[in-house]
Amino acid sequence: MRILHSVLSGGFYGSERYCIDLAIAQAQAGHAVAVLISDERSECARQFRRSVTQAEGEGALAGSLRIVTMPGALPTWLQRPAAWITLRRFRPDVVHTHLNPAARRVGRMAERMGIVHVSTLLIHYNEREHAPCDGLIALTQAQLKSIPAKIHDKVAVIWLPLPATVEDAIARVTAAEADALRQQWGAGEADVVFGSVGRLTPVKGMDVLIRAFKAAFAAGETSAKLVIVGDGDDRADLQRLAAADDRIVFAGHQGEIAKFYRAFDVFVSASRFEPFGLAIAEAMAAGCRLVVTRTDGPSEFLNDPRALWATPDRDDELATQLRTAAAGKRERFAYDLSRLEVRRLAQDIEAFYRRLAHKRGQALGADRQP
């Protein structure tokens, strides 16, 4: 099967990671895969190239995988013609878009050319962007509530996969590497390190987390640290909220995140809205204790009784759960992550592609007649 993915982002976050990890898994399964992105100098492009190089180096690609970039200076109105050129050259059976700009500019072009177009609903349903798609992948059952019933027949609920590369990277982190990070943060062996990973935007609730941390642990109490990994427009406001509390560390955006999970004792997701929560799954792979707000994604996939829950936007509830987590032993947990295995979910997505093509009377990949 020939599959073209597209995400037109400059940064590299959960949606972009999902795109490249799925592309790699499909190439490992023997498909011919291309990923269309914008601006070869972007962080997204750098991380995509790095991921592909690593996969090639491991010799696990049974199919082919390549990155196709649009010029960074290309105006958005010229991205449709650029997409048309790529589609004509690559001749995909399926175009799979991620986030609205790709759905609008690449997906619409694929539809006009008679190519099956699938989009993943990574955030909210948007009638303009998603209704014309041949197929739509929702991440949770909760997302179905926002999708009109009239198009439910072309929707599949398929969870985000936990990338095998992330699990492997976490497994390779040594105790010495994790300890070195903790020392940078001023955390001793008996101290509890709370960590959170995400964009510094209101939806991730980092302001709630900072207020809850300061309420849970008095200013003179130095046995707890809070490390926030990520960057975004709210960074300056969050730093002001932290009020120079040296127990709160802003680590910025990190390309290599595995060692951070291994250095955390407790992972906290204080999101106001979380369609899935890939960072939570990554923290589970590292065995972190969990404190999580009860949002759509975690409420569906996280069923471990050891997780501690709080209501979104409730500083007091979150503070209580932080204190509860801090009172527990410093230990790593073993979680069952089999339902998030990337190859298993990639197979579900391939079956969805084939169902949509069959519905249109088209054959895909090896089924296609020469």
At 229, list the tokens. 């990994």
Query: Mean pLDDT for each 10-residue chunk of the chain (370 residues)?
Result: 95 88 94 95 92 85 91 91 96 96 95 96 88 94 91 94 84 95 94 96 97 94 94 96 93 90 97 93 96 95 96 98 92 92 92 92 57
Residue 83 shares a structural domain with residue 140: yes
Length of the chain (residues): 370
Residue 156 shares a structural domain with residue 211: no
Residue 74 shares a structural domain with residue 197: no
Residue 177 shares a structural domain with residue 81: no
Residue 321 lies in a domain: yes
Residue 335 lies in a domain: no
Residue 154 shares a structural domain with residue 176: no
Angstrom distance (rounded) from CA 124 to CA 121: 6
Q: Which of 298, 265, 303, 295 is nearest to 280 (CA)?
A: 298
Residue 93 shares a structural domain with residue 134: yes
Residue 86 shares a structural domain with residue 106: yes
At 115, list the tokens. 């190519």
For residue 369, what pLDDT is reported? 36
Provide φ and ψ at 329, rounded to 5°.
Answer: -70, 150
Residue 35 lies in a domain: yes
Residue 334 lies in a domain: no
Which amino acid belongs to residue 84?
Answer: W
For residue 367, what pLDDT is reported? 45
Residue 120 shares a structural domain with residue 195: no
Its domain, for residue 285, covers 167-327
Q: Which of 72, 35, 74 is nearest to 51 (CA)?
A: 35
Max Cα distance, the chain (Å): 73
Summarize pLDDT for 54-112 with one digit per residue, the tens: 888 887 788 899 999 999 889 999 999 999 999 999 999 999 999 999 999 999 999 99
Residue 336 lies in a domain: no
Angstrom distance (rounded) from CA 206 to CA 353: 37
Residue 332 lies in a domain: no
Residue 240 shares a structural domain with residue 291: yes
Look at the chain and report how many structural domains it folds into. Answer: 2
List of long-range contacts for 71-78, beta carbons under 8 Å, 24+ apart: 71/39, 71/40, 72/38, 72/39, 72/40, 72/41, 72/42, 74/38, 76/101, 76/105
For residue 309, what pLDDT is reported? 98
Alpha helices in the chain (DSSP H): 14-28, 43-57, 79-90, 100-102, 108-112, 127-130, 164-172, 175-184, 206-216, 235-242, 258-263, 278-285, 296-301, 315-327, 342-359
Residue 294 lies in a domain: yes
CATH code, 125: 3.40.50.2000
Residue 357 shares a structural domain with residue 216: no
Place of tokens 């084939």: 354
Q: Which of 98, 121, 101 is nearest to 275 (CA)?
A: 121
Residue 62 lies in a domain: yes
Angstrom distance (rounded) from CA 35 to CA 249: 35
Q: Which of 136, 99, 78, 82 is nearest to 11 (CA)?
A: 99
Residue 139 shares a structural domain with residue 190: no
* Burial status of residue 43 (CB atoms within 10 A of its CB: 0-12, 13-18, 19 or more): middle
Place of tokens 């059952």: 141
Residue 183 shares a structural domain with residue 133: no
For residue 370, what pLDDT is reported? 31
Angstrom distance (rounded) from CA 153 to CA 87: 27
